[in-house]
Amino acid sequence: MQILHLVQSRGERTIAELSEATGLHQNTVREHLQRLIEGGYVLQASERRTTRGRPRTLYSAATGLPEASSPVARDKVTAAARRGDLLRQVVPDAASGLDRRATHQLDALVEHLEESGFDPLIDDDALTVELTPCPHAAARPEDRRTLCAVHLGLMQGVLTEAGGPLSAECVRSPRAAEECTVQLRMMPHAAESGRPAIGAPPRRPDTTGRASRRGIAPHGMA
């Protein structure tokens, strides 16, 4: 998480810089970065040099923007949209008012959060993502702030990569340590960016109980 926080706060970091900032051996940093690249969270690029010498490898966060888009992340959001479309064909209950692009953004967000160890419940009306109980509830307050910032940045990267009007606005102030609610925001004039949405019917809530935790909350039940 510390490495992710560093590359999110400033891009084009070298392994030497990350090693010094974290206190980790360069080989350990290199291994962590490779896993983050394979997960679609970090990008690497060769330094552009105007002088002689071997160019350094620079590492930056994958934000989903055209200049910082990971092919791994692109594949993930496309696959999530397809799986979401299939789910909605199987569960043809009352549709929400979200359009296809927003629906596919939420498909990608839910799969990302589940992959990260969360059990997300999304309220399509309030545009909230309920992550209670937070798996980081026992962390020190200063560490939890960093963890929240990293996860919010990752969520925004997924939404941007998927392309659509939704953005991750903030993590709400919790009333108890185990509480975690992320507020999303609808941007009605958002530019057409990210992967094009795959044709799909509107998002439909599931009424079978446990399946509603997979990102689909019946209206008024979040």
The pLDDT value given to residue 1: 87
pTM, full prediction: 0.82
3-class DSSP state of 18: helix
Please, which contacts does 149-153 make with residues 24 or more away whose CB atoms are closer than 8 Å?
Answer: 149/5, 149/8, 150/1, 150/4, 150/5, 150/8, 151/116, 152/182, 153/4, 153/8, 153/61
2-61: CATH topology is: Arc Repressor Mutant, subunit A (1.10.10)
Output DSSP code: residue 15. Answer: H
β-bridge pairing 128-130 and 181-186: antiparallel
Range with lowest mean pLDDT among 25-34, 46-55, 70-79, 185-194: 185-194
Domain extent listing, the chain: 2-61, 70-213
Residue recorded with tokens 């160890």: 117
Q: Rounded CA gap, 25 and 219, in Å?
A: 50
Mean pLDDT, residues 69-89:
94
